[in-house]
Chain A
Amino acid sequence: MEKVNIVIVGGGPAGLAAAAAAYDAGERSILILERDNMLGGILNQCIHNGFGLHTFKEELTGPEYARRFEEQVEERGIACKLNTMVMDISPEKVVTAMNRTDGMFEIEAKAIVLAMGCRERSRGALNIPGYRPAGIYSAGTAQRLVNIEGYMPGREVVILGSGDIGLIMARRMTLEGAKVKVVAELMPYSGGLKRNIVQCLDDFGIPLKLSHTVVDIEGKDRVTGVTIAEVDSHNKPIPGTEEHYSCDTLLLSCGLLPENELSRQAGVQLSPVTNGPVVNESLETSIPGVFAAGNVLHVHDLVDYVSEEAASAGRNAAAYVRGELAEDRSGEIPLEFAGGPRYTVPAAIDPEKMNDTLTVRFRVGAVMKNRFVDLYLDDERVLHRRRQVMAPGEMEELVLKRTMFEKHGPVQKITIRVEEA
């Protein structure tokens, strides 16, 4: 059986950043396994600008951003296998993969970085009633058809969900000659970034209807229309508010789900909130030596943060291989939260294992204005950060410093509290 120190599952932004960082941390035995025929993952079809402001201090398109990380991997001579599907990961870190030339093969890894990304929630999972014709696509499928294949999946479009891909596709479809009639959003707030509302909807006069959902899809063979209706505070459609839109296309942008089938098979503990692995300060899952980063861990709003997080996972994987990351997990303290966050990544911190800084990321469950985000070590407030607005569509972060812990001394309880200002 082939032996590799670090196997990275997925060659998208997370996998590439993890690989380069592991290399820079001194590791040389690294293998990236990518199911697609190119590296870069979903960025290849995200041809819009807005990537890389944090990482490169310039505004790049998705393919340009991906290319920079591919170059890092190429320059370092890190091995990749494309068109290779990982079929199984065992708790003992044996990775079973398959491709056309090697068939099915096994690799024994010392450490694994999970970087499989996420997928879109489908119509079926949303339980939208109506017919099941052609013309219903997840926004990402439409994005691929338009940007990679050069085809139009429809002419007259209704979009359900105001996630970023849906907003981006409203603009893309418009610029390619389609008419986007409306974007309906179930929640009373948008699931996407504010700037995408401005430059993808407002710029083109596309209405956004909050607290609305699709209640019927018409057309037996191809979509001929949809009905949307306002919803009440329990997200139930309100009778009498139905509005009919004739259209040939319904795009769905109703949330992303981390793809953790492999993690589940391996026995990695998953969070019911994020649908991603539960990780500690080292981004290590419940299986020692198995790390996770990027959208497989929790869905991010910005790829810059994916890269940053994945680099950290890559470094930690390298440290694990070197035997510098203790297997003893007894020092982990659960990260508690109150007042707004739905989850935190990481979910637990061992102050002994912390690097000089540790970025804790989380999302809130509702739009909140004028808040403080505080970090408490036991009852001592060590961080106090003001936030004008926090929204579920945008990820929040708090940077913890090792010195805070050193100053505080032994800690029993770590809490992030969102408090009214």
Chain B
Amino acid sequence: MVYDAIIIGAGVTGSAVARYLMRYRAKVLVVERASDVCEGTSKANSAIVHAGFDAETGSLMAKYNVQGSEMMEALSKELDFAYDRCGSLVVCLSEEDLPKLQALYENGVKNGVRDLRIIGREELLEMEPNISDNAVAALYAPTGAIVCPFELTISLAENAAVNGAEFRFNTEVREIKENAGGGFTVKTSEGDFETRAVVNAAGVYADIFHNQIAEPKIHITPRKGEYLLLDHTAYGHVTHTIFQLPGQYGKGVLVSPTVHKNILVGPTANDIDNPEGVNTTAAGLAEVMEKSALAVKNVPTRQTITSFAGLRAHEDGHEFVIGEAEGHPGFFDCAGIESPGLSSAPAIGEVVSDMIAQRLGLSENKDFTGKRKGIVKAAELSVSERNELIRREPAYGQIICRCESVSEGEILDAIRRPLGATTLDGVKRRVRAGMGRCQAGFCSPRVMEILARELHRDLSEITKKGPDSPIIVGTAKDTIE
């Protein structure tokens, strides 16, 4: 069998391309080395939909960011993922830096960002009472938003799957060969696949695949960003995404609410060699704590419930590498997708899928259903709605994750739906069980039991995030001789 397109990587970009490509009649395969979607950069970032004032005017980053940001709200309704246009503020901490704030404003206007304005200290203080005493002004972007990056990625992938895209997990691409008569052979850990087109959405590894096929060569550096996630009790400390204008105090970190009512602080930015280096460091976490104080007072970092690190795929040119490689028809790059990659994903998905359709001469898929009903968030329902749900499915009456108040019904839905969860992390990212302050201490054995029951596996076969991450390594006394 020959696929019309093989997409390498089930992150937000690959999933977006897959989803929008299903608007056409096409045989699409997404290959992912991890055991689930959203296992790389897409799961560990600032969860921000940038307004788009930051990127250099005329760049792809600027173009797709503004487009993606404009698409995101409608998409959140179509695919039912959490999105909140909370607005963002770039805080200027000294009079001398005001010209830079003005320049940023002008850049944003040129990029086509709507409703931008510069606000003075008084208005800023009204919007954010915990803002630094040094703050003199801020660039306010009402279109800045926050999103659940897991739900965004999962809903794109799920919707692609529902419309016929095939996903293969635990499948690592080793090499791409361009066939003499056109088309490509994608060699993977699970066998070779033939395809007419390839989409390279391989995140920090995208340079390797690009360089196997195309010129000029590109080079991607994993740029590590470390974050702290604070408990719900910290929610409300800021109500907008707070950036700090780079200035005499250096480059700060953002302090932002999340759609799940936490506070996120970070990231650092350190270039590293190891594309697997998602470890946090003592220095990095200390830096986040220290820098969080620059623009916002008294950030309650003592209420940290977890810390994590993500790797941005930083291409040397600091620009998205998007589109068909010259001289290699059918090879499409989505490389160098660093910030604002999450914000740009819908736009990249749409534009790249259109390019593929044009190249392959794909016809419209009249059966495409772009709408998805997400997993019900029982905690957000009214009492009567909730009781109706429990009457239909009693599992919604059983709380499994105490901290985030997640019911068994939600977990069952996360496992049973298309591209359902098969791991603890998969459940966590779909319904937040284990995402709260106890960090899965109580619920993980229960979630494991549910996964085992639903997937007809032994408890010992349930993993955190794929075959190499077993939670249980044997039975009691099995090594006693």
Min CB–CB distance B459 → chain A (angstroms)? 6
Taking the complex as formed, is A138 at the interface, i.e. its CB lies under 8 A from any CB of chain B? yes
**A360: CB under 8 A from chain B?**
no
Interface assignment of B25: CB less than 8 Å from any CB of chain A? no
Q: Is B134 an interface residue (CB 8 A)?
A: no
Q: Flag whether A123 is at the interface (Cβ < 8 A).
A: yes
In the assembly, what is the distance between CA of A176 and CA of B475, in Å?
9
Most buried by A among B281, B304, B442, B473: B473
Q: Is there an interface contact between B308 and A132, defined as CB atoms closer than 8 Å?
A: yes
Interface string of A108-145 (1 = CB under 8 A from B): 00000000000110111101011111110110110011
How far, in whole Å, are A127 and B468 apart by their CA atoms in the complex?
24
In contact, B438 and A119 (Cβ under 8 angstroms): yes
Stretch at the interface among A64-72, A98-106, A391-399: A98-106
Interface check A159, CB cutoff 8 A? no
Q: A119-B438, A151-B475 are in contact. Are A127 and B304 (CB under 8 A)?
A: yes
Determine whether B395 belongs to the interface, using a CB cutoff of 8 Å to chain A.
yes
Q: What B residues does A151 contact at CB under 8 A?
A: 459-460, 472, 474-476
- Cβ proximity bits B458-470 to A, threshold 8 Å, 1 near / 0 not: 0110011110111
B478 within 8 A of A: yes
Interface check A87, CB cutoff 8 A: yes
Does A48 count as interface, using CB distance less than 8 angstroms?
Answer: no
Q: Report A259 CB to chain B, min CB distance, Å.
A: 8
With contacts A100-B394, A152-B473, A155-B479 taken as known, whether A221 is within 8 angstroms of B386 at the C-beta atoms is no
**Chain A CB within 8 A of B26 CB:** no
Docked CA distance A246–B466 (Å): 22
Contacting A at CB under 8 A, from B86-128, are: none
Please tell me if B480 contacts chain A, counting CB pairs below 8 Å.
yes
Give the interface segment out of B67-75, B143-151, B364-372, B397-405. B397-405
B386 adjacent to A104 (CB under 8 Å): yes
**Which B residues from 437 to 457 make CB contacts under 8 A with A?**
437-442, 444-445
* Given A152-B474, A155-B479, A140:B282 Cβ within 8 A: no
Judge whether A124 and B305 touch: CB under 8 Å: yes
Size bracket of the A interface: 35 or more
Q: Contact check, B282 vs A122: say whether CB atoms are below 8 A apart.
A: no
Closest to A144 in B: B445
Chain B's closest residue to A215 (CB) is B282
Q: Cβ of A220 < 8 Å from any Cβ of B?
A: yes
Interface residues on B, range: 35 or more
Set of chain A residues within 8 Å of B402, measured between Cβ atoms: 35, 85, 259
Q: Is B477 an interface residue, CB under 8 A from the partner? A: yes
A153 at the interface (CB under 8 A from B): yes
Contacts A87-B405, A134-B464: A100 and B390 contacting too (C-beta < 8 A)? yes
Contact B470 A104 (CB under 8 A): no
Residues of A within 8 Å of B464, CB to CB, are 133-134, 221-222
Residues of A within 8 A of B304 (CB): 124-125, 127
Q: Is the CB of A124 within 8 A of B306?
A: yes
Q: Specify which chain A residues have a CB less than 8 angstroms from the CB of B279 in the assembled complex.
A: 129-131, 216-218
Q: Which residues of B contact A149 (CB under 8 A)?
A: 445, 459
* CA A359 to CA B468, docked complex, whole Å: 52
Closest to B423 in A: A134
Give the Cβ gap from A71 to chain B, nearest Cβ, in Å: 26
Q: Point out the residues of chain B lying under 8 angstroms from A133, CB to CB.
A: 464, 469
- B255 in contact (CB, < 8 A): no
Nearest CB of chain B from residue A176's CB, rounded to whole Å: 5
Q: Is the CB of A122 within 8 A of B437?
A: yes
Check: B356 CB closer than 8 A to any chain A CB.
no
A176-B463 in contact given A129-B281, A215-B282 (Cβ < 8 Å): no
Which residues of chain A come closer than 8 Å to B132, judged between CB atoms? none
CB of B290 within 8 Å of the partner chain: no
Does B471 count as interface, using CB distance less than 8 angstroms? yes
Report whether B395 and A100 are in contact in the complex, using a CB–CB cutoff of 8 Å. Answer: yes
Which B residues touch A176, using CB under 8 A? 476-477, 480
Q: Can you offer 9 A-B residue contacts whose CB atoms are under 8 A?
A: A100-B394, A100-B398, A125-B437, A130-B280, A145-B472, A151-B459, A176-B476, A216-B279, A220-B276
B-contacting residues of A (Cβ < 8 Å)? 35, 83, 85, 87, 98-104, 119-120, 122-125, 127, 129-135, 137-138, 140-141, 144-146, 148-155, 176-178, 215-218, 220-222, 237, 248, 259, 261
In addition to A104-B386, A129-B282, A221-B469, 14 A-B residue pairs with Cβ atoms within 8 Å of each other are: A35-B402, A83-B398, A103-B387, A103-B390, A103-B397, A104-B390, A123-B439, A127-B228, A138-B441, A144-B445, A145-B445, A152-B474, A152-B478, A248-B473
